[in-house]
Amino acid sequence: MAENFALNYQGDLLAGVDEVGRGPLAGDVVTAAVILDPNKPITGLADSKKLTERRRQQLAIEIREKALFWHIARASIAEIDQYNILQATMMAMVRAVDGLELRPEYVAVDGNRMPDWNYSGETVVKGDDKVPAISAASIIAKVCRDNEMCMFDQQYPGYGFAAHKGYGTKQHIQAIKQLGPSPIHRHSFDPVRSMLANKSLIMT
């Protein structure tokens, strides 16, 4: 469960920011920003990866109902391939905070990289286990992305997106080799990058 980490801010307009989907071979990178309501506490906030899928779904509903403000944003597959995953993630985080209906006084970002923006804030390594607002952002971002990957599983059958959510499991990589990349695979990530490069060499 997320503990109240000692941030360099003690007010109520704190936005927590986190991302989901930096590592997968397919799909967008999804980010969220959440400003919790101190008068509506939410029990059980923690790193989304440590929660069961059912508990994440339950908490995501509660977060969206109880938070003062929340916003989910993303960087597309095309942006990931154009700019690289780190820059795309930073862009998505900016979009998440900019999308809040109220400008936060302070922003706590999970990890050790702060986007280039005009918000006061700090990074917190493993912040999704330490700062409740970051935990909340982690949860709603993961639920959003996981739900999308389940829909893609039906749209592009055979890859197993519902099971691995786009991550590079042995089964997923084997499916890419057998079926070729789908429209939601990232061209800048191996093995898709190598497959496309080899195809280009063969064609030339």
The whole-number pLDDT of residue 158 equals 97
pLDDT per position as a tens digit, 76-119: 999 999 999 999 999 999 999 999 999 999 999 999 999 999 99
pTM: 0.94
The low-confidence residues of the chain, meaning pLDDT below 50, are: 203-204
What is the CATH topology of the domain spanning 14-156? Nucleotidyltransferase; domain 5 (3.30.420)
Give per-residue burial for 181-204: e unless 16+ CB within 10 Å, then b. Answer: bbebbbeebebbbebeeeeeeeee
Q: What is the largest CA-CA distance in the chain?
A: 64
- Alpha-carbon dihedral angle through residues 21, 23, 25, 31, given to the nearest 10 degrees: 20
Do 20 and 147 meet the contact criterion of CB atoms below 8 Å apart?
A: no
- CA–CA gap between residue 177 and residue 43 (Å, rounded): 44
Domain coordinates in residue numbering, the chain:
14-156
Q: Which two tokens stand for residue 150?
A: 């389940």
Do 27 and 21 meet the contact criterion of CB atoms below 8 Å apart?
A: yes
The whole-number pLDDT of residue 147 equals 98
The whole-number pLDDT of residue 198 equals 81
